[in-house]
């Protein structure tokens, strides 16, 4: 039986976040193995343009929350014996052989060299190939400016010309690994990623509002990305390319809180939901276990693009599994040790706490990402209110 809680304190957190201008709008949802037991929202879809209230049925760009969905497709292929995580990436996507390491600068010219070792599929899954994102790496900001190489958001294949920033297997560098992983999944499946995700994750789980391109009706139910403006939030409209060169396993999905919680519940239940199994129990266990060995997870990742993101401060005691950031210690008043989580660049966040038996997520679409007193604070207040209500 699904548990029941008094959600008034959680409602108050969401309303207060919108009222103080921390977020332009917000929706949140909490569930256990048996079903949803809290959902709420505050604010409107488009500040200054729409009076439509944001709810758990509203469409959001979930950005890097896409990563665990794409990773699940790779894990399914691994279970079926179709994908070898220990194999070099170039065995599946030959273009990987052209990727080099950014080894410094000769004036304004990037100095590139071959990687010390061949990167593996496992390293893609665990962000240990050396690939980064511009917003957390000054050298990549400089490289993109010097070479005209675009980042991944515009959806151009030229984004795959970006170099490594470390040798494979030497560091955790959060980056475009899952975009490359999506290409690996496509090569194994002989189908495009949108088809693989639909056939093996979203359709089996009944996630009918989760997709890479929204139809007209769902677009009318979509929030826009908001940025700070004079006196408050202003809509920046649609940022994602609606006709990209490839479907981005790292950031491309749209979803609703009600849809994505079904995916979270499947992870919470060991890979099964409503009689449909998408992963084996042992595979899910591996996803919630550190997969980066002795490589440390950074306690802080400084911003290289403040308009896009703040500095990430997680502190000690974190690691990375398969598609999930794992806390190795209880967070006082919040999630228990061994929980898996991640977030999306436009300020969405989820966690799955298998010890307490709950999963939850919170959504807005705004930039910059994780600003200390705005979205980041709202995440924390929501989580604390959830655990206080249990």
Per-residue pLDDT, 294: 96
Query: What's the confidence (pLDDT) of residue 1?
Result: 78
What is the predicted pLDDT for the residue at 91? 98
**Coil, helix or strand at residue 55:** coil
CB-based contact 328:337 (threshold 8 Å): yes
Q: Give residue 236's pLDDT.
A: 95
Q: Distance between the two ends of the chain, CA-based, in angstroms?
A: 15
pLDDT per residue of the chain (390 residues) written in tens, 0 to 9: 778 898 999 999 999 999 999 999 999 999 999 999 999 999 999 999 999 999 999 999 999 999 999 999 999 999 999 999 999 999 999 999 999 999 999 999 999 999 999 999 999 999 999 999 999 999 999 999 999 999 999 999 999 999 999 999 999 999 999 999 999 999 999 999 999 999 999 999 999 999 999 999 999 999 999 999 888 999 999 999 999 999 999 999 999 999 999 999 999 999 999 999 999 999 999 999 999 999 999 999 999 999 999 999 999 999 999 999 999 999 999 999 999 999 999 999 999 999 999 999 999 999 999 999 899 999 999 999 999 999
Which pLDDT tens digit goes with each residue over 190-203? 999 999 999 999 99
Q: What is the pLDDT of residue 32?
A: 98
- DSSP at 336: P
CA distance 230 to 234: 8
pLDDT at 267: 98
Domain 8-79+187-389: which topology? Beta-lactamase (3.40.710)
Q: Is 292 helix (H, G, I), strand (E, B) or coil?
A: coil
The 3-state secondary structure of 83-114, one letter per residue:
CCCCCEHHHCCHHHHHCCEEEEEECCEEEEEC
Q: Phi first, then psi: what are they for 384, rounded to 5°?
A: -65, -40
Please report which residue ranges of 148-212 form alpha helices under DSSP H.
177-189, 193-197
Q: Cα–Cα distances in Å, from 156 out to 2, 112, 247, 253, 340?
A: 44, 22, 10, 16, 31
Domain ranges of the chain: 8-79+187-389
Q: What is the pLDDT of residue 230?
A: 86
Tell the residue number behind the tokens 């999963």, with chain if given.
359
Annotated catalytic residue 78: no
- Pick the closest to residue 113 from 94, 93, 99 (CA basis): 99
pLDDT of residue 4: 86
The catalytic residue among 38, 92, 133, 174 is 174
Sign of CA dihedral 26, 288, 182, 136: positive
pLDDT the model gives residue 132: 98
| pLDDT tens-place string over residues 66-76 | 999 999 999 99
Q: Is 67 a catalytic residue?
A: yes
The tokens 């060995």 sit on which residue?
293
């Amino acid at each position: 039986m699904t548990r029941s809680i008094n959600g008034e304190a959680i409602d108050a957190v969401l309303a207060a976040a919108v009222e103080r201008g921390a977020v332009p709008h917000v929706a949140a949802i909490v569930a256990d193995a048996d079903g949803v037991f809290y959902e709420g929202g505050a604010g409107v879809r488009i500040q200054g343009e729409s009076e439509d209230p944001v709810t758990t049925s509203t469409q959001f760009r979930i950005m890097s929350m896409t990563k665990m969905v794409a990773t699940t497709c790779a894990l399914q292929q691994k279970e079926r014996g179709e994908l070898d995580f220990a194999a070099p990436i170039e065995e599946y996507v030959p273009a990987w052989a052209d990727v080099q390491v950014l080894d410094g600068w000769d004036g304004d010219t990037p100095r590139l060299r071959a990687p010390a070792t061949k990167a593996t599929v496992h390293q893609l899954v665990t962000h240990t190939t050396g690939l980064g994102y511009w917003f957390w790496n000054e050298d990549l900001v400089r490289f993109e400016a010097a070479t005209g190489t675009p980042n991944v958001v515009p959806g151009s294949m030229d984004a795959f010309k970006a170099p490594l920033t470390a040798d494979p297997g030497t560091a955790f560098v959060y980056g475009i690994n899952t975009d490359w992983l999506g290409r690996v999944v496509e090569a194994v499946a002989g189908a495009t990623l949108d088809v693989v995700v639909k056939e093996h994750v979203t359709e089996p789980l009944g996630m009918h509002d989760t997709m890479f391109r929204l139809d007209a009706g769902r677009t009318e139910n979509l929030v826009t990305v908001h940025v700070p403006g004079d006196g408050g939030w202003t809509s920046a409209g649609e940022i994602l390319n609606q006709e990209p060169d490839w479907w981005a396993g790292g950031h491309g999905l749209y979803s609703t809180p009600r849809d994505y919680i079904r995916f979270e519940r499947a992870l919470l239940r060991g890979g099964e939901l409503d009689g449909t199994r998408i992963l084996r129990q042992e595979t899910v266990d591996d996803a919630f276990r550190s997969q980066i060995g002795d490589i440390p997870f950074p306690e802080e990742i400084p911003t290289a693009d403040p308009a896009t993101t703040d500095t990430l401060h997680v502190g000690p005691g974190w690691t990375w599994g398969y598609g999930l950031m794992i806390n190795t210690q209880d967070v006082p008043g919040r999630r228990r040790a061994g929980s898996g989580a991640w977030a999306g660049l436009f300020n969405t966040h989820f966690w799955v706490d298998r010890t307490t038996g709950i999963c939850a997520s919170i959504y807005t679409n705004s930039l910059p990402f994780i600003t200390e007193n705005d979205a980041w604070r709202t995440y924390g207040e929501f989580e604390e209110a959830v655990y206080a209500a249990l």
